[in-house]
Chains A and B, each alone.
Chain A
Amino acid sequence: MTGLSTDYRRDREIRHFPLAVYVLVPLASLVLQAWLPRVLGRFTYFDLPLLVVLYFSLVRRDPIHGTLLGAVVGILQDALTQGAIGIHGVANTVCGFLAASIGIRFVVENALLRVVMNFVFTLLAGLLVVFVTGGLLGLEMRWNFLTQVLVAAGNALIGLVLFPLLDRLQGKD
């Protein structure tokens, strides 16, 4: 066991999913994100597409994959809004890249670590959205930090339940 190289260990720890999971899970996250506010009202303190991006980035440990997945999911999120397309795309792209980069170096299996990472990356995504909207595009945007913290906390808690569920979807090597 000690003779195993790092690349081999990384390849062993990379999760592989069927292609349908890569398509359907982000799609389901987008649909739920658009539908749940009808049920929960204003208590929609979560960002499911970002969670999905973070999960696949962490478990795939591939920054390009995380980058592209984050870009696609973010663009689809933007496409469902009235705002410019790309704002969430940039944020999710950066988060996906960073999450995958962290996943390369660390084994993120611990639940507490996942909670912290989800909280931090969700907060980062929110900050990036604010930066892109206000800083890059120069558009006026009302932003409440407490709301963003609540969204991050919500994502952290949901990730505790969602990540083990998504782990069950991985394919057999």
Chain B
Amino acid sequence: MESFFSRHRNLIVLLAVLLAQIIGLAVQVRRPARGMAAAAQTSNPDTMQRGDSRSVMLLRLWAADIVTPPERLFHAVDQEAVQLWSGYLDLVHLRAQNLQLQQTIDWLRLEQAMLSEDARQGQRLQSLLHFQQSYPGKTLAAQVIGTSGNLQSHLLFIDKGSADGVRTDMAVISADGIVGKVRDVFPHTAQVLMINDQTSGAGVILEKTRIRGILRGDADGRTEIVGILADSRIQPGEQVLTAGGDQIFPRGLAVGTVTGVVRDPDRSAFIDVILKPAALLDRLDEVLVLTDIQSQLPSALQSDLAQSQAEQGQAASAELAREQARRKAAEEMAERLPGWQQPVTPANAQGAGGTQPAAPPAPKPIPALHPDRFSPGYDAGSSTAPAQNSPGDAASKPTTEKPQNRSQL
């Protein structure tokens, strides 16, 4: 018997170990089944998942206690190693990546600037389009593509030329106000002389005081109105409009705002009115060239004008009817009352041949029986009858002699 165990020791141990494990498995598998049945009776699903016996739970706890600390250590080491690698060691492509990101940032900044510029340009074009639609004349939109590059020469180059219908001396405006006039025209570009150039000139008028003057630029690039007599009514803040007499700018366009008045250094009786231009002359991007200032009004303005004229016609006809009725009533009154005089009105004055209305006859004073120096029209030197003097003389002479008479008295 002893030799059997010693001979088959290995196999017996194997079978014993396998048998023990199989029994353990059988116990574990049967316990969840009972747990499931109990759970089905108690309707408690939590019971099904807790089918392990206390010994199995203990075994799992031990295994977890054995394995999890090294796992935690491995995890920590792994994290540190990853951080060390990625943060300090794996920096081979970092410089190139940094450069690429910097380029991306620069590109994004450029794109942002372009988008902002596009948005601003859209707003400007929108206001310009609105102005173009509301403006009665024909206009041609143009882009400002350059300047003269000289501080003494305030010129602009626009991207429209003779091929687009631009001619010399055409007015150039923006939605804010006038800009200048076309000086030279090339096939596809044109040169615009701005209003703040010393050689420019435009007829302008102050909005409130209705004082006219000539607009030009000074040596500093400011705009001023020259050739105005000193007038205390000109105050800063007054709007200045185009007068329309220069055959370039149509009347009524905004020119600028009065910012100050200085005495003309050459002529002491004259002043120069300094203006702040309505158009942003140093930040122009889009302008309008007035290609035809004598064109027809837009339909909306035409309808408004026709309505206004119709209303004026109705008012005039009503006034004429009232005047005719008043004249008829006056004639009837004159027939019934011979001494009644028809009142002088502008209407019947114009009706009498269109001549100047006759002044009403002045009432003649009754001649005095014994005229003296106090009598109207008395002349001490000539001793003529006062009735022969004119009323004007009678009115003037006594007043000039009154102080003498009073001193004599």
- Residues of A with Cβ closer than 8 Å to B? 27-28, 30-31, 34-35, 38-39, 63-64, 67-68, 71, 75-76, 79-80, 84-87, 89-90, 93-94, 97, 101, 132, 136-139
Contact = CB atoms under 8 A, between A and B. Distances in A.
Given A64-B9, A80-B64, A137 B14 contact: no
Contact of A67 (B13, B25, B28, B63): B13
B78 A39 contact: yes
Interface residues of B, number: 27
A101 B56 CA distance: 31
B85 interface: no
B114 interface: no
A80 B67 contact: yes
Nearest to B78: A39
Given A64-B9, A86-B21, 9 more contacts: A35-B70, A39-B78, A63-B14, A67-B10, A67-B14, A75-B59, A79-B59, A90-B18, A90-B21
| Residue of A79, A89, A101, A137 ringed by the most chain B CB atoms within 10 A | A79
Contacts of A27: 66-67, 70
Chain A: interface secondary structure? helix
B10 A86 contact: no
A120 to B, nearest CB: 19
Contacts of B17: 67-68, 71, 93
Given A67-B13, A93-B14, A85 B24 contact: yes
Interface in B1-46: 9-11, 13-14, 17-18, 21-22, 24-26, 28-29
A137 B28 CA distance: 10
B109 interface: no
B202 to A, nearest CB: 80
A108 B13 CA distance: 24
B149 to A, nearest CB: 67
B107 interface: no
B22 A86 contact: yes
B62 interface: yes
6 contacts: A31-B67, A31-B70, A31-B74, A35-B71, A85-B25, A86-B24
Contacts of A76: 63, 66-67
Given A84-B28, A85-B59, A97-B10, A30 B18 contact: no
B326 interface: no
A164 B66 CA distance: 26
Nearest to A137: B29
Contacts of B22: 86, 90, 136
A112 to B, nearest CB: 27
Nearest to A74: B21
B75 interface: yes
Interface string B120-136: 00000000000000000
Contacts of A30: 66-67
Contacts of A79: 59-60, 62-64
A64 B24 contact: no
Contacts of A28: 70
Contacts of A75: 21, 59
A34 B67 CA distance: 8
Given A39-B78, A76-B66, A84 B29 contact: yes
Contacts of A63: 10-11, 13-14
Contacts of A138: 29
A76 B66 CA distance: 9
Nearest to B63: A79
A84 B27 CA distance: 10
B29 A139 contact: yes
A76 B24 CA distance: 14
Nearest to A80: B63
A132 B75 CA distance: 33
Contact of B25 (A31, A71, A94, A132): A132
B108 to A, nearest CB: 35
A101 B14 CA distance: 12
A64 B63 CA distance: 23
A94 B17 CA distance: 10
A84 B22 CA distance: 10
A87 B29 CA distance: 11
B29 A64 contact: no
| Residue of A85, A132, A137 ringed by the most chain B CB atoms within 10 A | A85
Given A30-B66, A63-B14, A80-B63, A93 B21 contact: yes
